[in-house]
Every structure is written in C-alpha cells, then in structure tokens.
Amino acid sequence: MYALIDGNNFYVSCERVFRPSLQGRPVIVLSNNDGCAIARSNEAKALGIKMGSPWFQIRHLEEEAGLVALSANFCLYGDMSDRMMGLAAGLGPTQEIYSIDESFVGLDGVRGNLVERAHRIRARILVWTGIPCGIGIGSTKTLAKLANHIAKTAERKPGSYPSELAQVCDLSALPPEELDAVLAATEVGEVWGVGRKIGAQLNDAGVRTVLDLVRSDPATIRRRWGVVLERTVRELQGLPCIGLDDAPAPKKEIACTRSFGRPLTDLVPLIEAVSEFAGRAAEKLRKQDGQAGQVLVFAHTSPHRPGPRFHRSVIVPLRRPSADTPALVRAAVAGVHQLFQPGYALIKAGVILLDLTPASRVQHELSLEDDAPDHGRARLMRAMDTLNGRYGRGTVHSASTGLDDANRAWGMRQERRTPNYTTRWAEVPVARA
C-alpha cells in the first residue's frame, strides 16, 4: 500500500506562507525569465490560465482580474520542500521523494485507520509549514497518484467527486461500485504515464475514462503502445509493478541550461554564459561525488521568433573523467568555439555532463602532462563549493563567466522575485508584536 503526498499549487503555496495577503487571490509563479506560468493558485486556474501559458498572453489579467505574478524563487521552494518532506515521512516507514513537492510513502506495517492517520499528518504539515497538501492512498503507486488527483480535485471542485474524498482519498477503501463510479468520472489523461499523445490515441480507440483503461486488455495495450503503458494498466488493476525507490541512483547526466534575458549574437557573452553553466553543472556533479567523461554544449535560436534558425550541439570528450570546474569549463568553451556561427539571435544555451561515473573509480595512469589529476585540485573544488554554499552562489567562480555580474548581457529577467525568507539571514522576515 502506498500514499502520495503533494503540496497543492506548491510554489504558490510557498509564496503565500510569507505573504498571507495572497490568500484567496489569483496568483501564479513564472518560469525563469518570467516567461510562462509554472504554478497557479486555484483562483488563477479558475481564470483559465493554463500550465505553461506565456506571460505576455495573460499579462492583461493583472489589471483586469487582480492577478499577481511572481518570479520563481527556487531557494525558497527547495527549503520549504525539505520541511514538508520531513513531516510527510511520518506517514509510514519508507519514503521516496519523487519531486520537489511530491513524495510516495510506503505504508506496509502501518496499523490503524489510514485515512485518519493521513488527515493528522496533513493537518500537521499545514500548521507547521503553512503548506496545504493532498494525500492519495492506493495499493500501487499509480493508484496512489490517481487517488491524490481525486483528493485535490474533490477539494477544488465541489461536486466533481464525493466530498468525503477531498484532501485525503483512499481508493483501496472504496466499495467496488463506488470505485467504478469514481474511475468512470476521471479522464484517462489524468493517469500517471498517460500524456498528451497517448491520451489522444486512447481516446481515438474509445478509451476515454480511467474505468475504460482499467477494463482494457493488457496484452492488447502492449502490442499497440508498449510495455510502459501495459505496466500502467496492470498497476491500475492493482498489480504492483513499480516499487518504492527510497535510495535514488546517482544521476546519469547533469544539465544546466538557460534561456537568456535577451538574444545573444556575439561569441563573448555566449562563452560567459556557457562557462557559468559548466561551473554550475560541475558543482552538482561534485555533490553526487561523480565525474564526467564528456561535455555536451548546445545553443539555439527561438522556435517562436522569425529569422534564421540555428540549433547545434557538440560533444567534447575529456581525456580523462573529471569533476574539476576549470577542466569542464575549458571543454565547454572549446565546444562553443566549435559550434558558434555569427549572425544568429541565440536565446538559449546549455551544458550537459555525460558519461558520469563515481569519482571513486579512478583510472590510474602514468602522469606525463601537467594537467594530471591532482588531489590539490579536489581540495580546491571542495573549498569553492563550501564558500559558495555559505556566502551565496557566485562568491567564487571562473573568470570566464565575466566579472561584471550585474551587466551580463545574458542574465535572466526576474523582475518579481520575493526574498529568500528562509535561507538568507538578511532576508528573514521580522515579526513585530
């Protein structure tokens, strides 16, 4: 038996904790560069704002409907997530943190009334962190996900489902006829693993509701759509196929990619940006104690704007695996030189570290060159990571990222970011009696 706990409209809820005046109002959080909506309060959803709606298309709602838009503050969300996850873990013996706002909890061995227990945990998270959650319970992860969707929808849209399923929904506790009614009232596209494409194909094949999918034949599904969807069907039928992953494997690739605040046409700022991305990616790489064998660099023009298109990527192999920022930055910059062509308005670039191996696996060799591995380098990198962790990102960085941080041609637009309420002493809110 599994539970899925997730924060409602998570980023918006984090912002509301520190700005209670946002309660009850339409609020969205924007992606990097204030490009499009990535989180929406219920009121914003009611205005018809879709996930991913471009900001310039919905901006008029500021005036017309009192919409509040905030720039994403990922430091805040990450810290609030840690607090929420710690409390959610109290629901059962094992936990898989699945995303910044969701975790699965294994419920094996938990005694007593699960629904009551879930309500207690939910209330505790709300009081202790200020984040409202939904909890779904089911005999498989896919059913727990579905139950979670129903718990949240029942709360947000009264009448959509029986009201006692709001906030906490245990599908395994429903009598068969009620379960069928709930599944028949849910579109197949809501199922975990059914996206836009497959959802449309299923609809064409006459499979419209979750009940239709549950009653379909797994072998037929497999022939047409493959093993992934077959597994989904079996999970919906109550056969566990996906286990709890409470010790996630190290990443197989690590990326740092960004859209620019404005298009770049010159080589120099592109080199600065890519150097910065390589440094950030290297930091993540060291955090998982890995090393990279290859560095991929890409840059491209906007798919949305007119003008000549450009989309290129280059893979630069490293002579030996490394987690050293200067080595990775050098490789990335070499890649930029290879792919760059003048005359294009580039709006995005990125660095992806590939071919990752644990740093503990070292290929020893006779060192004849002056860039041979050196334990002094590793200590230098650790010192850099510590400084940046303590005093803030960018305290120490490669000179090739440019020295004038404020005037970077490629900097992100973030005009509406809230303070780091919980992670920077200088920005902690002050309570007055």
Partner DNA sequence: TCTGGGGTCCTAGGACCC
User: Is residue 350 involved in binding DNA (CB under 7 A)?
Assistant: yes
Q: Compute the least distance from the CB of residue 67 to DNA, in Å.
A: 15
- Pick one of 41, 140, 167, 259: the residue that binds DNA (CB under 7 A): 259
User: Is residue 54 involved in binding DNA (CB under 7 A)?
Assistant: yes
Q: Compute the least distance from the CB of residue 176 to DNA, in Å.
A: 26
User: Is residue 429 involved in binding DNA (CB under 7 A)?
Assistant: no
- Pick one of 131, 198, 299, 384: the residue that binds DNA (CB under 7 A): 198
User: How many chain residues are in contact with DNA, going by CB under 7 A?
Assistant: 48
- Pick one of 111, 197, 361, 375: the residue that binds DNA (CB under 7 A): 197
Q: Which range of residues in 121-129, 328-336, 346-354, 403-411 is near DNA by CB under 7 A?
A: 346-354
Query: 128 CB contacts (<8 Å, ≥6 apart)?
Result: 83, 87
For every residue of the chain, which 3-state class applies, written as one string?
CEEEEEECCHHHHHHHHHCHHHCCCCEEEECHHHCEEEEECHHHHHCCCCCCCEHHHHCCHHHHHCCEEEECCHHHHHHHHHHHHHHHHHHCCEEEEEECCEEEEECCCCCCCHHHHHHHHHHHHHHHHCCCEEEEEECCHHHHHHHHHHHHHHHHCCCCCCHHHCCEEEHHHCCHHHHHHHHHCCEHHHCCCCCHHHHHHHHHCCCCEHHHHHCCCHHHHHHHHCHHHHHHHHHHCCCCCCCCCCCCCCCCCEEEEEEEEEEECCHHHHHHHHHHHHHHHHHHHHHCCEEEEEEEEEEEECCCCCCCCCEEEEEEEEEEEECCHHHHHHHHHHHHHHHCCCCCCEEEEEEEEECCEECCCCCCCCCCCCCCCCHHHHHHHHHHHHHHHHHCCCCCCCHHHCCCHHHCCCCCCCCCCCCCCCCCHHHCCCCCC
Sign of the Cα torsion 80, 85, 88, 89 reads: negative
User: Is residue 174 involved in binding DNA (CB under 7 A)?
Assistant: no
User: Is residue 271 involved in binding DNA (CB under 7 A)?
Assistant: no
- Pick one of 50, 157, 305, 319: the residue that binds DNA (CB under 7 A): 305
User: Is residue 385 involved in binding DNA (CB under 7 A)?
Assistant: no
Q: Compute the least distance from the CB of residue 358 to DNA, in Å.
A: 14
Adjacent-strand bridge partners of 326: none
CA atoms of 308 and 306, how far apart (whole Å): 7
Q: Compute the least distance from the CB of residue 305 to DNA, in Å.
A: 5
Which residue, 31 or 160, has its beta carbon nearer to DNA? 31
Sketch the per residue contact string, 206 through 245, with DNA: x for CB under 7 A, - otherwise.
--------------------xxx-----------------
Q: Which range of residues in 34-42, 75-83, 89-97, 114-122 is near DNA by CB under 7 A?
A: 34-42
Q: Compute the least distance from the CB of residue 166 to DNA, in Å.
A: 19
Q: Which range of residues in 17-25, 247-255, 265-273, 327-335 is near DNA by CB under 7 A?
A: 247-255
Which residue, 184 or 228, has its beta carbon nearer to DNA? 228
Adjacent-strand bridge partners of 29: 39, 70
- Pick one of 67, 100, 151, 154: the residue that binds DNA (CB under 7 A): 100
CA atoms of 217 and 226, how far apart (whole Å): 13
Site for DNA in 107-166 (CB under 7 A): 145
- Pick one of 132, 162, 193, 293: the residue that binds DNA (CB under 7 A): 193
Site for DNA in 278-297 (CB under 7 A): 284
Cβ–Cβ < 8 Å for 310, 216: no
Query: 206 CB contacts (<8 Å, ≥6 apart)?
Result: 212
Which residue, 117 or 188, has its beta carbon nearer to DNA? 188
CA atoms of 103 and 44, how far apart (whole Å): 25
Q: Which range of residues in 130-138, 206-214, 256-264, 326-334 is near DNA by CB under 7 A?
A: 256-264
User: Is residue 254 involved in binding DNA (CB under 7 A)?
Assistant: yes
Which residue, 36 or 295, has its beta carbon nearer to DNA? 36
User: Is residue 348 involved in binding DNA (CB under 7 A)?
Assistant: yes
Which residue, 247 or 366, has its beta carbon nearer to DNA? 247
Which residue, 21 or 99, has its beta carbon nearer to DNA? 99
Q: Which range of residues in 18-26, 302-310, 396-404, 419-427 is near DNA by CB under 7 A?
A: 302-310
Contacts to DNA by CB under 7 A: 31-33, 35-36, 38, 51-52, 54-56, 98-102, 145, 191-199, 226-228, 249, 251-259, 263, 284, 302, 304-305, 347-348, 350, 352
